[in-house]
Structure 1
Amino acid sequence: MKVQILAAMVIVATVVAMTEASRVPPYLGRDCNHWCKNNNQVLYCCSLSGTIYPPYIRDHPGKCPSVRSTCTGVRSSTPKLCPHDDACDFRSKCCYDACVEHHVCKTV
């Protein structure tokens, strides 16, 4: 009886572990410090290798603009890539940009 209970516990633990493993971000072997969600809510590595970012403390005020459905190709400057708001100026938020396919600092 004890063996059956132990076997059932092992099976349950294995199922739970496999379920949790399916939630792990993709490319687990890749060295990534920050994971973000794109406009389709899919996780991707949003930190650049070798870049040191300030620590995340809190979100900046304001809301990210809606993600564009089309890209114009016109930019006044090169966007600043970011993993979170604290990597941007205080008047900016780190928001997903479908044209760049990465989070960038956007003035709000």
Structure 2
Amino acid sequence: MMNNKMMLVMVTVMTLMVMGANSQHDAQCYHWCKRPSDIKKEPGSFYCCSFTEPTLQQIQGGVHLGSCPPHPYECPGVRFSPQGPQLCASDGYCGRNSKCCFDTCLTHNTCKPAIQVPIIEPYFN
């Protein structure tokens, strides 16, 4: 009987610790992003997409030209790369020809190559 009570106390304490860690983690969020409304998992809900303070370059990066690629209906198999996906809160976190887009497979924003980027011809006198 004592073992069951002790186990219950341990589980309760661990649960409270995890809940406290999550609320501290949310309190340190610098940028909240909204999930697209056309996805299956939690459409339209908000989530923290940046836990670090943005740099001046990220703030001044503005909105990049082009648009995000369409969401895949199914996620591709697991791929490993040395860098992994670049997480982002806005286009300013991404390279010039990339957009900060919601990734339905990873369920957060990542930098993706922009599509339909207009080609601007240089003007010479």
What is the TM-score normalised by the length of structure 1? 0.64
With over 3 angstroms needed to count, the CA separation of the structure-2 counterparts of 1:44 and 1:55, relative to structure 1, is same
CA contact (8 A) 2:61 2:93 kept: no
**What secondary structure is seen at the aligned counterpart in 2 of 1:86?**
helix
Paired position in structure 1 for 2:65:
61
**What secondary structure is seen at the aligned counterpart in 2 of 1:55?**
helix
Paired position in structure 1 for 2:109:
103
Paired position in structure 1 for 2:48:
45
Range that drifts further, 77-86 or 56-65: 56-65
CA contact (8 A) 1:56 1:84 kept: no
Deviations 1:46-104 (A, max 9, x none): 00x34644214421000111112211124463110000000000100000001111100
Runs of 4+ off more than 3 Å = 50-53, 74-77
Is 2:37 aligned against 1:33? Answer: no
What is the TM-score normalised by the length of structure 2? 0.56
**How many equivalent residue pairs?**
81
Give the structure with the larger helix fraction: 2
Rounded Cα–Cα distance in structure 1 between residues aligned with 2:101 and 2:48 = 14
With over 3 angstroms needed to count, the CA separation of the structure-2 counterparts of 1:61 and 1:43, relative to structure 1, is same
With over 3 angstroms needed to count, the CA separation of the structure-2 counterparts of 1:33 and 1:62, relative to structure 1, is same
With over 3 angstroms needed to count, the CA separation of the structure-2 counterparts of 1:70 and 1:89, relative to structure 1, is same
Rounded Cα–Cα distance in structure 1 between residues aligned with 2:80 and 2:68 = 19
**What secondary structure is seen at the aligned counterpart in 2 of 1:46?**
strand
Rounded Cα–Cα distance in structure 1 between residues aligned with 2:90 and 2:102 = 10
CA contact (8 A) 1:56 1:85 kept: no
